A and B are shown apart, each in its own frame.
Chain A
């Protein structure tokens, strides 16, 4: 029964979150546009599904994933696990944290694949491109980007190197990639940076950052604990640009070799 209570509480919370959006939509739909959408009943059902779906999703995450994800982040960053003793050495080596990087990459990948906002954007991209853009391929590309990003981000916390350096280097890479990427894909790639970090990824990744910053001597939890989300937003832009540029290049090469074959007698 505790579960049912939790579900009804979460439904209430989600309604509260949706309320401002619904108010804005209703205001503009009926007072500014002043016409009824043709499929109003269907849209209303859709909103009900979204409300129920999001609530169940959150309850399930809180029940099954967040506690265990956060416990793991804590255990992997405990001094006992890292150094085999209760006392942290004054100058730990970055190699001591190998499992933290592996976990960061794995959990970054896994939570991104399940991110509802990313599913929405990839479905839309597939629809708009007439099926040319594979929704699943796009999601995997984004997830690989988040995986690398979060792993590099944990490395930064461990070594205590300045965050702006990494992000600026990331921007430079994105700029260079933009020059070579197929034009049509650029906006979508930029978008993928923002959609990766919402419901599922943020809580687990934040727990990892805070746990890690508190396990290393000389790191401030409040200052060094931040920044992982920023990594998770820059790296997917790179991976999506890279993925689509490579795909376009392969297509061109295939077309070229086909032309060569045809031109030979």
Chain B
């Protein structure tokens, strides 16, 4: 298949992926809220951009992010340098999370909650340092998650005991953490894994699992993202207890 045909296929796929959103918005706007569309031309240009962007992103995944993740996994497995691999996993987790826009937004809101109910001093400086500490906490937890996850792949430990153990820890900590941090802690698990990190981490895990003898890429390669969304809950609950 030629490049042009391939890209056309990707555009069609992207349009199909977007169809549900368009349908939902159209039905609700016309049938439930009964309001005319504001700025129809702007919406149509926007949709065209979304379709084009999604197609380009998927193309870039297959050309860039997946091969890079795989080639790095391969190189680390060949060199057999465990320390370097674990340091890399930590840096990848910490570095991609600390500047994540969704996390910054959540941390700022959390600081507003803590300031509003007298948990910390209600000043800009106190709120800023609270938000910053929270972000670093979450970033540390994601770094730790990837180290643990990579170690699990190397050892071939079954994932469900670790995840269920994590759940139990979340449940226990919830009983001791202040009420207002609980919602934020639970949400922080979902906001850490960004669109660029996920493909890289998935390719890294699968790449490692397929290079190590006795590991099955499907059974051992996945699971890094699961750790990265579980540990932030635990770390943020503890953060709420100690601050």
Contacts and interface: CB of A to CB of B under 8 A. Distances in A.
Interface of A: 3, 17-18, 20-21, 23-25, 27-29, 32-33, 35, 37-39, 42-65, 68-69, 71-72, 75-76, 81, 99, 103, 106-107, 109-111, 113-114, 116-117, 119-121, 123-125, 128-129, 163-164, 167-168, 171, 174-175, 178, 183-188, 190-191, 193-200, 202, 222-230, 232-233
B50 A60 contact: yes
Given A110-B24, A124-B66, A193-B226, A222 B49 contact: no
Interface of B: 17-18, 20-21, 23-25, 27-29, 32-33, 35, 37-38, 42-68, 71-72, 75-76, 79, 81, 84, 88, 91-92, 95-96, 98-102, 109, 112-113, 116, 158-160, 163-164, 167, 170-171, 174, 179-180, 182-184, 186-187, 189-200, 202-203, 206, 210, 216-226, 228-229
A193 B218 CA distance: 17
Contacts of A229: 186-187, 189-191
Contacts of A43: 63-64, 67-68, 71
A184 B46 contact: no
What 5 A-B pairs are tightest by C-beta distance, nearest first? A46-B64, A64-B46, A49-B60, A53-B56, A57-B53
Contacts of B197: 21
A11 B206 CA distance: 30
A167 B81 CA distance: 39
B226 A114 contact: no
20 contacts: A35-B75, A43-B63, A49-B60, A58-B53, A62-B46, A64-B50, A68-B29, A113-B20, A117-B198, A121-B202, A125-B218, A167-B170, A175-B164, A175-B167, A178-B164, A187-B222, A188-B218, A191-B224, A199-B195, A229-B189
Name B's interface SS.
Answer: helix
Contacts of B226: 187, 190-191, 193-194
A107 B27 CA distance: 11
A171 B71 CA distance: 36
Given A109-B20, A171-B167, A202-B191, A68 B25 contact: yes
Contact of B67 (A35, A46, A191): A46
B72 A226 contact: no
B190 A222 contact: no
A53 B59 contact: yes
